[in-house]
Structure 1
Amino acid sequence: MSLHIETPLLESLPLSVKSGRAVWLKMEALQPPGSFKIRGVGAACEHHKAQGAQRFISSSGGNAGLAVAYAGRRLGIPVTVFVPETTTERAIELLRLEQAEVIVHGGTWQEANERAQAFVGASDAFIHPFDDPLLWRGHATMIDEVAKAGMKPDAVLLCVGGGGMLSGVVEGLQRNQWANVPVIAVETQGAASFHAALEAGHSVELERIDSIATSLGAKRVSTRALECAKQHPVHSVVVSDASALSACERFLTDHRILVEPACGASLAVVYENHPVLASFDRVLVIVCGGATATIDQIRKWAEAG
């Protein structure tokens, strides 16, 4: 039995009316650990368990770490998650609820990741948050489910952090013979490493992450994400933190589900009827979720902004 569930594919009347086009939602926020991450992470953890791994090591202050912790608990494998000092108490609480050992190290994910990789022993498996073919293959199942439902969109709208979801969605589109369906890849200002790399024509590292959408906080996007942009039609869009936060509130009102600002970034493109949508009549939004944000925190960020 798979560690992820088949999530609902819903037509959103509120978003369709607001944007003047048919908007469909792939509800990954309903996955048991709270985000799409469990698709790829679950596949990777099952693979490494079959290879004899005795412990899973992860580096993530958010959804990837939660997915590894959930998978480890379900599979009976202990988990250690390295998180940066910026990780919220809520995220650490959720990791411990999943019985993971949590080690706080460094001011950024990159620093936590370096410590995590140095910690990996001979019988351990390191589960990367976004840069692993096992993850992409698992994430591609989102598109398999949409294809099985018979709903072919004109475009797929998603957010980009390290590029794992983008890589998986492109793999899913191509293996379902939907190579002509473009991806709209959204980031927030201050965390737009994918946009910067596309403009430069090669991978670049941001000096710092300056966005409240911490799940998008990879200073350098994966090489695979850039390859996907060369092999598949991909439109890059950057929105403000304020737009992402507003979309979280509006989505909660419209659909009674709270998502984090990273997911709010992609929803903001629809709520604000961004010009990138002009040529598409039917749009699929990956509602990727996010378990670590609370409505109080989102409102506090909005007030501070």
Structure 2
Amino acid sequence: MLTLNEINDAYREIKDVVHRTPMLTSRSLSKKCANHIYLKSEHVQVAGAFKIRGATNKVKAAAKEGATHVITASSGNHGQAVAYIAGKLGLKATIVVPENVVTSKAAAIHDYGADIIHCGTTSTERLKKAKELTTDEEPVFIPPYDDPLVMAGQGTVGLEILEQIPDVDAVYVPIGGGGLISGIATAIKASNPEIKVIGVEPERGNDTYLSKQRGDITAIEHADTIADGLRASQPGDLTFPVIQKDVDDIVLVSDDAIQAALIFVLERMKQLIEPSAAVTVAAAMANKADMREKNICCVISGGNMALDKLAEMVTEDA
């Protein structure tokens, strides 16, 4: 199991690379949610998402062991993070992305200097491809979520939440493979077990919800949701036990609710976030935690939104 000490170690390791992201508030959003809402703004993080935290912790460790080439599989954000930190450390990077990767995310990976390989449309397909290209020496595989160093890096978001909102009552966290929520839940529950940690998944990407309900890792065939960063086929072998132990509940939100939340944040708060990040706001707007007048933090996981997709959403909403 991941420990608070490992997360504290990760924070010391990555603090020269990552931002301590702000906590944003909106009276209109809080009123709509009937709670005091805070947005942990990882959409303004280095490389546009929380993923830089875990990627930095893992890639730095690989570099210390002599790696010169790293490889990973990603729907976009983790790939951008690995490409960024690899370039900063002078390492070669190869990123396996889905055939339907968001164009802006692929462009950013390329701009950071990494090579791109397209493979399939599911996390299972691209993970398999990346691992097939990994040898006993190099390139070194950088897991997108199911790794202690990656999970510890993501857990530093939890440390910052506790510092920025000492009296927080609940935290909504997006779930893809589970690296972010397992790290945050470990940090929060080790500090104050009374704080609720609530995972949020799209209705059409509900693998972790099903897994927690059944008490065993459950895969889904295809996650067809606008939240492209949450299209994992199943939770990780390492992340799922932490989720079972420390996550109080997992709730589901529809694609329509995700889209409405994204547009609300854009219109009222002037913040551009991606659909995967908007799931937490959607959950808060639906009061999935069943709370009133409480301090609730929504983790905004990223802001790598393709402008053509945004234009489609705004047109549909008009």
Give TM class, smaller chain.
over 0.9
Structure 2 partner of 1:298: 310
Offset of 1:89 from its aligned partner?
Answer: 2.3
Distance 1:104 1:153 in 2: 41
Per-residue CA deviations over 1:141-185 (Å, capped at 9, x if unaligned) read 11222333352310111110110111110121134x222211111
Scaled by the length of structure 2, what TM-score is found? 0.89
| AA partner of residue 312 (structure 2) | K
Distance 1:34 1:167 in 2: 20
| AA partner of residue 148 (structure 1) | E
Structure 1 partner of 2:148: 133
**Which of residues 177, 198, 220 in structure 2 aligns to 1:162?**
177
Give 5+ residue unaligned stretches, structure 2.
1-14
**Which of residues 209, 216, 234 in structure 2 aligns to 1:220?**
234
Structure 1 partner of 2:8: none
| AA partner of residue 290 (structure 2) | L
Per-residue CA deviations over 1:270-292 (Å, capped at 9, x if unaligned) read 233x242325611011111131x
**Which of residues 170, 187, 207 in structure 2 aligns to 1:193?**
207
Contact 2:263–2:314 (Cα < 8 Å) also in 1 = no
Q: Displaced runs of 4+ in structure 1, greater than 3 A?
A: 301-305
**Which of residues 43, 50, 57 in structure 2 aligns to 1:43?**
57
Distance 2:248 2:40 in 1: 19
Pair 1:264-2:282 in alignment:
no
Offset of 1:6 from its aligned partner?
Answer: 0.8
Contact 1:160–1:216 (Cα < 8 Å) also in 2 = yes
Per-residue CA deviations over 1:64-121 (Å, capped at 9, x if unaligned) read 0010011111111111001111113222211101111001122322112111111113
Distance 1:241 1:302 in 2: 14
Distance 2:313 2:236 in 1: 28
Scaled by the length of structure 1, what TM-score is found? 0.93
Q: How does 1:32-181 map to 2 (within 5 A)?
A: 32-121=46-135, 122-149=137-164, 151-175=166-190, 177-181=191-195
Instruction: Call closer, same or farther: CA 1:223–1:302 in 2, change over 3 Å.
Output: farther
**Which of residues 285, 289, 301 in structure 2 aligns to 1:288?**
301
Contact 2:172–2:199 (Cα < 8 Å) also in 1 = yes
Structure 1 partner of 2:4: none
Contact 2:71–2:95 (Cα < 8 Å) also in 1 = yes
Aligned length: 302
Offset of 1:233 from its aligned partner?
Answer: 4.3
Q: Percent identity?
A: 27
Offset of 1:238 from its aligned partner?
Answer: 0.5
Per-residue CA deviations over 1:18-56 (Å, capped at 9, x if unaligned) read 112211121111112000111111111111111111111
Distance 1:199 1:23 in 2: 28
Distance 1:286 1:153 in 2: 13
Report the secondary structure of 1:283's partner residue: strand
Pair 1:182-2:199 in alignment:
no
Q: How does 1:20-39 map to 2 (within 5 A)?
A: 20-39=34-53
Distance 2:164 2:198 in 1: 21
Mean alpha-carbon deviation: is it higher for 250-259 or for 40-49?
250-259
Contact 1:155–1:280 (Cα < 8 Å) also in 2 = no
Offset of 1:236 from its aligned partner?
Answer: 1.0
Give 5+ residue unaligned stretches, structure 1.
none
Distance 1:304 1:22 in 2: 29
Per-residue CA deviations over 1:216-245 (Å, capped at 9, x if unaligned) read 111111233432233224211111111101
CA RMSD of aligned residues (A): 1.9
Distance 2:183 2:58 in 1: 13
Instruction: Call closer, same or farther: CA 1:302–1:213 in 2, change over 3 Å.
Output: farther
